[in-house]
Chain A
């Protein structure tokens, strides 16, 4: 017995130490000794959106050589949409694109992966033409998207994607000209002239040539901007401070810290030793969460993202509160502490799983059909919910089991109280606990013995 106790104490101390180390790596930046490497901490290394950290902006105007000056308003609106799609598809999920003045378009993106280069390329749009026997049969106006791709046969190529109209036309042209050569002309220069082998009806031809990844990517971007309704020229591009003001990040972080401390006090006052165990698992949750936000490439933290973190913290605690309240209920009705804890975890499981699955559904929808910051927020949230479920169901449980090995006879330690007139239920083995032997809700409800006929579906 004493040996058991000792081992449990050692386990708890070890767990706390591990969490302390994890928290240290998550939050504290330091210089790695004997090297020039600066460790940023998980929190410090998270990529931040333009609303919190600022980024790069660019202003475009209609190019001087744009020949068509009619209907500019609608065409500029269309260009804004296409530009926005193009930039978000390059991974700048938090980009804002808006019109400024009568003819200008302003773009703001976080400073990641050198957006300036992309901005410049957009300002050098390329015209794309397909010629057969020196006659232009199709232009790039109907291109929906283009990107660099790799094929075993040709190395790097530019993958074109036509919209439905363009795909139909391209299909007809290739159908009618099998065997002939099709010149692909960019900015007046022929870059390749493959012969048409068969009809291409899926609207996804490729341009081959001696491309590197960089040159294929550049040409793809130029072709996409060449398909804009209006030809754009880059006017200016420079750095820009956070859209939400310079203090947005600091204040949000302070709020997170205060919130976390408040939650920990709350848990420890209300649930004492149980609260202490969930505090350890909560801190582990924070470290793990920061680690994933730092490690996953597509996370760009924005203000809604921070709120997502706060809500995930709140929900991580929720699961524990649900369990602890259940444990209190079970103890109230006469079970021993040990049996109450076991029953508390088991009986809360279905509620926690259902609550979290509904949240996961919400997050997945955001990722699937949201765009820009909405999608980023969904990702942050999803990661949080999954880690929080792991922490509250696995970690808290393991910690609490060890805590019980240290002391399972003092209800005050866990802030557990009996109901006044309750008869203590002696510890049953776990099997009987599974069967529902509780009394009904109301004393006047018809008393039933353990008949354990369970109507309806089985529980999880």
Chain B
């Protein structure tokens, strides 16, 4: 009979389907981790982590702030279309480009990741230098097209910074566990941290699948995600806490309380995530590529956060409550067996 009612009049059975969530999430996460461990796949680490090569192209006064984009486009064309002597593309890509110096000293500095081993790269950079000189040399302007030898560049993100960031993530998770345990109880804290960790892993898997480059901003993206994603989970648990306190619900099972709380907080979670998702999506669409690199993991994390706070966290909470609450709930027949 309940099937005929519209969605928001029916009782929801979210936490009862916990097996599906566990399976779906595990598949994504495990696939991601497997690919992460496969050599040559793993993360697509960007130049901030991997280093690469840089090349400086001198322009002198011919280069100004105004025509920089134009000149850069020209350089970019040469870089992306660079081929070896047999016409095979090198697939070189500019990772970062900057204008540096002023007037006589003005130049474009490009940085790119290695596309092969050291020996191979020596060939590539020599070819690139030649191609750039050919394309850019300007007889009337002796400054232009003076291409300096390429040099290797190290990563800009030191391993210490990375360790500090990872430590920050763990400490963050731990303190949130403590706070939620104090304000709610340990089971809510554990469920919330499981959901958070899940979101982080989903984003990691996404970065592996999508081959999006990982640069220094990724660290900030992950931490943002943790800080934001916990909000939705807290809202659900707040509702659960409130429903638990209500004496009228004293003999409901954990599953029933969780299901009803999810239903009641659905619009809050949905609407509040929608606004944030909207802004960050705008940023991803109109932003430059470095911004997209930063916004996309956050978007995926927010989506995963909606799912984990509505489905995963309450399910974990219900499961953690299961052995204790099984006995007294005998008098509510069909529901109790499902949970």
Binding site for B on A (CB under 8 A): 51, 54, 57, 80-81, 84, 96-102, 104, 106, 238-248, 251-252, 254-256, 258-260, 262-263, 266-267, 270, 303-304, 307-308, 310-311, 313-315, 317-318, 321-322, 325-326, 328-329, 347, 350-351, 354-355, 357-359, 361-363, 365-366, 369-374, 377, 381, 436, 438-442, 444-448, 451-456, 459
Contacts and interface: CB of A to CB of B under 8 A. Distances in A.
Given A100-B54, A322-B268, A358 B164 contact: no
A351 B248 contact: no
A160 B283 CA distance: 46
A266 B282 contact: no
B231 A315 contact: yes
A307 B152 CA distance: 31
Contact of A366 (B54, B223, B234, B245): B223
Contacts of A256: 279, 283
Contact of B223 (A98, A240, A246, A374): A374
Given A303-B291, A438-B248, A263 B175 contact: no
Contact of B216 (A255, A307, A315, A373): A373
A51 B278 CA distance: 24
Given A241-B99, A325-B268, A315 B294 contact: no
Given A100-B152, A270-B271, A436-B246, A240 B99 contact: yes
A262 B241 CA distance: 33
A239 B286 CA distance: 27
A372 B243 contact: no
Interface in B204-244: 216-217, 219-221, 223-224, 226-228, 230-231, 234-235, 238-239, 241-244
A372 B161 contact: yes
Contact of B220 (A239, A317, A321, A374): A374
Closest 8 CB pairs between A and B? A440-B248, A259-B279, A314-B276, A362-B227, A304-B220, A101-B151, A99-B154, A351-B238
A396 B145 CA distance: 60
A354 to B, nearest CB: 5
Nearest to A316: B275
Given A325-B267, A351-B235, A359-B228, A303 B290 contact: yes
Interface residues of B, number: 92
A316 to B, nearest CB: 10
Contacts of B285: 255
Contacts, number: 285
Contacts of B172: 361-362, 365
Given A239-B101, A310-B279, A445-B248, A373 B175 contact: no
Interface in B90-115: 96-102, 105, 109
Contact of A362 (B154, B216, B226, B289): B226
Chain B interface, >50% SS class: helix
A431 B29 CA distance: 50
A4 B175 CA distance: 48
Contacts of B226: 362
B243 A248 contact: no
Nearest to A105: B154
19 contacts: A99-B51, A239-B101, A241-B99, A252-B291, A255-B282, A255-B283, A256-B279, A266-B271, A267-B275, A303-B217, A307-B224, A307-B298, A314-B276, A355-B238, A362-B230, A436-B246, A442-B252, A445-B249, A448-B250
A446 B156 CA distance: 64
B234 A358 contact: yes
B33 interface: no
A105 B339 CA distance: 62
Given A238-B101, A255-B279, A100 B153 contact: yes
B171 interface: yes
Contact of B288 (A80, A106, A248, A373): A248
Contact of A238 (B105, B216, B278): B105
A80 B278 CA distance: 40
A307 B220 contact: yes
Contacts of A322: 235, 268, 272
Given A313-B279, A441-B252, A445-B249, A100 B288 contact: no
Interface stretch (B117-125, B256-264, B318-326): B256-264
Contact of A355 (B54, B152, B235): B235
A303 to B, nearest CB: 6
Given A310-B279, A310-B283, A456 B244 contact: yes
